Structures are given as C-alpha cells and as structure tokens.
Structure 1
C-alpha cells in the first residue's frame, strides 16, 4: 500500500512539474505571437498541442499564426479544428472563412461566413470587397490595439516616441521658453529638437528644459532617434549640418543625414556623421535591431524602388559599417516607406503610403519565414491606422505596448503621439490558504477545466500557495483544488465581461482540513499476570504488531504508554507495579527498534483508572480483575 502511495505521489509530482514547464512554454509562445515572431510561435504551439496542455487555445493560436505566415493551407487545417471546439469564440468562424478564401474554397468560405453572421458577427462587405488579401482580413477582424492619449503633446508637431530605461525620447517642434526662435519655412513651425521626459512623470511640463542635453540639438531639424541597450550611444536624424555649416545638394536642397553621439557625464557629445551618408540624398529615421548588428533607415538614394525605401547596414564589431542594402520589394514600393522600427524579436515595422492601407501613411508589420526572409506585410489596422498619416511606430519588449504618431483629427497639434496597448493575455491567479490558520498551502493540485469538464491545465501551487494559469477571454471555466488532508474545492469562474485592459482574474481559495480519525482501535492493550510486570507471550504478539505499525505502516506515528493494575494491594504498591509494567513495555518497543523520540512518555497509574467496578468494595472474578491489569497505547500523532 505504501509503495502504491509513493508511486501515485511521484506521478502527481511529475505531472505538476511538467504542467509548470508547459505553462512557461505557453507564455513564451504568446510572447512570440504578440511580437509578430509567428514562425517561432508555431513551433512552440505545436509543442503545447503534443503535450495536450491547453490544446484548444494553442490550436486557435496556431491557426492564426499560420494565417499571418501567409500559409492558408495549414491555417485551414487548424481553423477547422478550432471551429469544432465547444464554445469557440465566433471570430474563428470568420477567420476560417477567410482562410478558406485563401485556398480558393469560396463555396465553403461563404458557408462559414453565413454561420459567423448568424452567430451575431458583423461583416463589412464593402471593406471585404476592397481587400482581396485574406491575411489582412483575419488580422483586422478584431481590434488588436487600444489607444490612450499621452500628456506631453504640444500644439506643434510631436512624433518619434522611443522608450528607453524609464524615459521617453521624442522629436518636437515646440518652443515654449526658448528666447531665440527658429522657424521652418516649409510649415511655419519651429525646427524639430529631441526631448526627453520620465515615463512616470505624468503631470510634468515638457518644455525647453526637457531638450536633450549636449550637442545633438541644433538650429535645424533633429529626430527621430534610437539608442543602444547600454544607453551610451544614440543614433539620430538631422539636417545635413556639420560644424555650423549647412550642407546642400547640387540643387541647393538640404537633405537628412544620420549621426551618432556618445553619453558622457550626462550629456550627449562627440557627434559624428555616419560614413554612408551623402549630400545628394537623404538618410534618416535610424533603427537598431535587437542585437545591434544592423542599423535600419529610410533613404531616397538612387536605384531604389521609388520615393524613399527601407535599407539597412551591418554594424561591425570594430565600429565600421557595411554597405547599405535595400530590403527589397516585399517591403518597398514605388512610393514612400519610412520610419523603420525593429522589435526585440527582430521584426520590422514601418510606415508606407505605397502598400494598400486606410489612408496616407499607414503602419505595417512584417512577417518572416524560417530563414528570416520577409515574406509579407500586415497592415496594423484601426485604430493604429487612420485616413491620415500614421507613422513612427515603437513597441516595448512586452509586445503589448508602445507608441506611434498621427496627424489624425482630434489631436492637440499637427502630429501627435499616441500610446497603444494590445489586448494582453488573460490569466486566473490566486492563493490557496488554510481556512483556520490562514497559512499558505503549497503543492496543492490546481486543475482548470472548460465548461464541459474537459481538463485544460494541471499544475501545483508554489511554496507560498500561489498559482496562475493563462485563459481565454469571454469563456466559462471550472477550477478544482485538491490537497491531501484537505477537502476538495471546486468553483465556476468566467472571463466574460472582463475589460480588455484587465490582465488577471483573482480566485483565492481557503481550504478546510479533513477531520482525522486516528486509528486508536488498531492498538490493542496488553495484559499482565497478578503482581507481575513481565511481558507475557500473548503481549509480545501485540507489541510486535505495534512495532511493525510504527516502523512500516505509520512511520511518523507517535504514541504514549499508560499502564495499570487491579485494585488488590495498596495504592502505593500498585503505583510502583504499574510503573514497572510501563517501563517493561517501553523497553520492549525500544529494543525492537522503535525510536525513543516517538514515545512521548510511559507512565503508571496504579489502580486510578479501573475500567469496571472491581474496586476494594466489590467481589470480582479473576477474569474481571484481569481486565484492569493492562498497558494501553495512546496515539498522539499519525503524520
């Protein structure tokens, strides 16, 4: 029995450790998905499905990943599995219909589109007719991003927000507090400078005192920027202006160039022009990739596809730069591609008025294959994009938040900065405690089930009694908590109606312990002959059984020994006699290997606790007196 219990415990431990590992794997997959690293996310979601960990959720995410990888054949396979799931969000009817359109299964696509509409979905027929690309239809089927205003926009142009080490850097033409104002004749606004503000300083005034300190800002345009991870080097755009001399091309126009500077004693200095610049065309909008081996930028250099294109140069370990490389016609068009940004997974975002969009400049993300070749672009859709210019996209490392700029209606000035949040992964989290002591209950088994009692996830609470599990939105669940020696607890929970910005639902549990009934009846008394404390043969059999129970069946059991006499003889004599019986019993158990620490006491009670009426005033038979000449065993602790 004990061996079976040990095996069962081992299996539960292995399952729980595996579940914890798979939970970490799911978080990794979701993080890759949010950062547009779909080819890597696919591999991880496949792993989750193979491990049968939250497989329904992983299947839906896998289907979307294949769709965004422009692989409708695989997307159709997993969307088909998704729409067969009970209580699947109806958005997947729409996604399945669009993926079927991608494999030219138009008749079946219309069937699922009708099911989507019948289930309450809304279809913009005009928009669908204008967008023949199934991938954008799926990506933009639901709102991906939610916007919030920032408090440092001005009545002038503000854009290029870039977050680094708790500070937000951005370009602005504001000039509050500046005594000598320089006006750009093109739009009658002051020239752009680079500003910086603390992210946490929500109510601070961002004026001329917030201009970047050092030698970067000049009397002409600066910005936007990118900064190395160590915070010591900045790359920035600036008009062709070196050593107080404004450079011009053959036609008398001043182009943009890319410069870098170093942070020394809190000021940016040692400004130097990058070697691949040219007076005859513009290079601007620098962006570093995550390992800082490539610098991306926009340029209208000759032999591009038209307008401005996105290029990159290799940043060599010795500080030199490679030759500019055009990113090709998947990204670049015959119009303008500008404002590149590369997130922590190496995914490129950019603004373009050449790709199909909602208005003028729109913001796009790129999708790459296994060899990191860009295979398609995704329009980020409403509300990031509008009918106006939308540009200078930035994403934080969480893949869920960042900034962009737009000159859409309703802003404070010409160009305004907007903060965005992507709908984050939702999770259930909580703490399991003992209802009486309020102490945490570690290693409790937490099982998440769907509305049909199908297991979705299994894990154990940590040493502080905490747990958390990723879940879908707008879904009903069941949570079951089990812990040995506690009463199971089951609760229905739902993510329906939870606000989009909410990231967790808290469900704490207070467990009641099971009332233990100690198996006292398993320890029978042993009996003694009149006026003796020797252990009889019938007593040794019971004592040997107790030794086996304590050393094998209940290895944590603790007892105490109480010995007694009959009423014959004086009380003082009987006290000594009963103590002798207690000592003899104790010695027998210890000699057989029982740990003395597991016997809290051995005590003689003489004739104080007779179990019948055989006192000095009663004539009793020898059999009745025998019942009082005994040693009893009291169980103090079982585990």
Structure 2
C-alpha cells in the first residue's frame, strides 16, 4: 500500500511540475508578445500547442503573431482553427477575413467578413465588399505602371527609395559588412539604416553605402526626405538622440522625425522637432513641392485609426506651425502611412483601411475642381499593389519613373524595393465649334472609331462644347462630331510614336450649319436701348460681321430678321417698336451692300417672345430687360 501511495504521489508531482513548467512557458510567450518579439513568441506558442497546453489561447496568439509579421499564409492557417473554437471573440472572424484577403482568396474573405457583420461586428474600414466588383475592376483596368529591375535589394528589409540629384536614397536592415549585428525583436532583423547609391550603379550596397554623418544610430533610422536644395533632411528614428533612448509609459520606444543639415558632405546638427512626443510615434516624413509643408504619419492624440497622415507648415526660418490631421477622406480607422507628394501636389500614401487587394496598398488622392481639397482616393492597382504589403511609393521629377516597396512573393528579402515606369493614360480632347460664329456647340455627339471603322466609344460634349475620351497608344483613330442642326465633321489622328510624357492629343472639330434650319448664335444677336430703335455702336460691329459672312464666306446665304422688345409699355406700342428695330436692322445691312433678295423677311414680334421671365409686373433688373431688346438672325439658306 505504501508503494502504491508513493507512486501516486510521484505521478501527481510530475503532473504538477509539468503544468507549472507549461504555465511558465506561456508567461514567457506572452511577455515576448507584449514586447513585440513576435518571431520568438511564435516559437513558444507553437511548443504550447504541441504540448496541448491552453491550446485555444495559444492558437489565437500564434495566429496574431503571424498577422503582425505580415505573414497571411501562416496567419490564415491558424485563424482557420481559431474561428472553429467555441465562444471565440467575433473579431477573429474579421482577422481571418483579412488573412484570406492577403492570400488572394477574395470570395472566402467576403464570406467571413459577412459572418463578422452577422455576428454583430462593425466594419468601419477595409470593407472591400462595398464594391463587389472592385477586384475585377482593378485587375481588368488598363495598366499604367510597369516594373523595372532594381539591383541593390538585400535578403533583409529594403524600402523608402527615392531619387534626388542623381542619387537613390533608401532605408535597409542589411548592415552588410558588419561583423556584429544588433537584431530588432519584432522580426529578428538588424535595425534600419539609411543608404545612398548612384542612379544606374550596378554595385551591391554594403555598409560603406550608409550616408555620411550622424543620421544613422544603433536603432531604427529612416525613411528620409530631403529638401529640393539638398541642404536639409527630415528622417525617422527611434526616440534616441545624443545617445539617450527614451521610452513611453508602456516601456516602448516610439518613432520621431528629426531634422539634419548637410555640412561639408555630412549630415549633422540633428534636431528633435517640436511635433514629436515621447508617448506617440511620428514618422515617414515627406515634403511638398516647394518644401513649405511636411507630411508624416502619426498615432498622436486626435488620430482616427492606428496611424493617420498629418501635415504641418514649415516657415522660412524652419519653425513648424499649423499642425493638422489631413482628414477623413484619407484617414480611416485602420493604418495610413508613408505619404509622398509628386510635383503636381498629388498625395500618395499606403493604407490597409481603404478598399484594396491585400494588406497595405498604395493609394493616390483626387482633388476637387473648385479648390485643392481632397475629395477621394484611388487604388493604384496592379502591379504596384498586390495581396501583400505595398508601401513607400515615390515618383521622380519626370512624373514617369519611381519606386515602391513590397513583401510580395518573388522578392529577394522580406521587403524589397521595386522600380517602375509609368505610361500615363492618353486621351484625345477637343472643342466642337460653330464654323460660322466660332461659338461652342454643346450636346454634340462625339464618336471614336479605330482604323477599321469599329466604334470604340461615344460621348456628348458639355456646355462648353468640350469632350475628352481615353485612348490607347500606338493606334490610328478617326473621330466624328455630329449634331442635329449641323453637318458632321471628322478628323483622323494617330497615337503612334508619341512621347510617354504626352497625355493629351488635341482634335478640335468645326461644324457647318445644316441649310434652312440654323439659327446664328448669340454672338450675332444685336441689342437696343430702352424705347429706341437706332443701331448702337456695338450692334453695328455685330452687323458688320454678318455682312462679312454674307459677302465673303457664304455668298449664297439667305437670312430672316426677327426683332423684339422688353415687356415694358403697351403691347401695341411694343409691336410697332419691334418693327422699327427690324426695319433699322434691314436698312443697315442694305446700306452695306447686301442684296435685299437675300433677306426674306424682317419682322417685329413685340414682347411676345421674351428670353427670360421678365414679364409685365415682374421686378427685373435693367440687365435682364436688355436681353429682350434684341434682333436675331435666322439662316434659311446656305448655298
């Protein structure tokens, strides 16, 4: 009996010791997770799962580790198990949907996103089901961006590339050539530094490629931006200056933006900016075209999501004023970062909160017609965006080439720099005008044909006679303008062998009026003073134009004259006044040599055909009455 009791005690002790051991392992995993050491934490959580200790919890944590490591394949693998757990928090339906999206499993992702909604979850960002045709439209859109080779990527993280003055600056964790490397716990890679290489260089960039001066430290440094004169740099860095690292209330070291100046070829005079704070991050600096505004990402108080895009004005003396969040059109309740502005002032940024193809996508802003306010954002589509993280977009001064970074499949390292060249959308545009009076013709039908007379597109001109149609490059076209009261006009043109930078081909069209129905436009309307019928100087100028048209341009033209009054005065008096105006107009044209046979009628209509609402009893201004005191001309024959 004593032996049996001894064995039982030993078994209980071993079980207790094993449970205590696993409990300690879970505590260690959680500590690593809370310190953002996700690589090491994932390893311990896997061991807990293998030992079947608190397996549901460890599986959720492991899936989250892979999500933070931007590894949707492994994240979805474990989230798939998580969503089958009893009483699992509904947020994991959303996380599973996002991981599936990162795997290009868009239909499955929508199913779990819908389940998240049906379970009471609220989607305030990243709801790509808003546009069920989004994926199809992005992949089916006309490709504008084309990838080019980059020779300086490493097996580590590389991003933040931009060109200036023949050099490419970029941020990298490579630390090539350094014997002892300090590793960042989040992803077990070396800390980031800023590098520079010559445009067109085919050499690998090692530690000798780091920029000179005091910018690079023992912690994260970069990405950067440089003013147009090349003398001032703004760069991201951990909260570390003058060899002192500062942590926030949670024990984390946040990011700050610092300013440096170029002195004798080295970046020095490091300055901590007043927009920074110890308890939030400020990073990813970008400058507008004249270096008067600094854009950046931050999770400071007032931020809507995980991080927002902010801006601050830079005074000539370097003082930063007027700090602003750029607003809800750009910023969502998810994360926005990596702003960049091209020479036209278009803001590009990365986000996992707008409708996209995967994790982080690159977007561009659209400004309103009336001012510079941002009214919408557009996804740049493939191949800039993928189902993985796509970020740190930049465009060179030519507006055609540039860089971005991605951790998509097929790269050399965790994040790689990709170069691109752009073929902007080409369009044909023009104005349709009246061949007689050169006035624009609204509501003209514009039809575009290819070189085989196949109809490509059609549209209607706006109130200014303007049209614009997107076209392909390297093709021949024919464009036709039609309007009921005019004879069709057409032009042929080509988009072959034109410069990539060209985005507009002009094709204006002239329409001649159809005989017997064309009314000359307002340019040829003449006006009279109140209660008078004499020909004013401005009216004489317009009548001289008609004389010129009839004598030189259209020697066979036959017209009819119609004269009118405003509503003031008796009806019978206005009838006579309008006839006097018609006679005065007729006599002027005859005096200038127009054959009376070419004027079929000259009639007065009194106040019966007002052009506006200024009828008897209406309180109208003089300028409105003036529009009714007029003579108009009707073309009844052209040839």
Normalized against structure 2, the TM-score is what?
A: 0.48
Give 1 or 2 for the bigger CA radius of gyration. Answer: 1
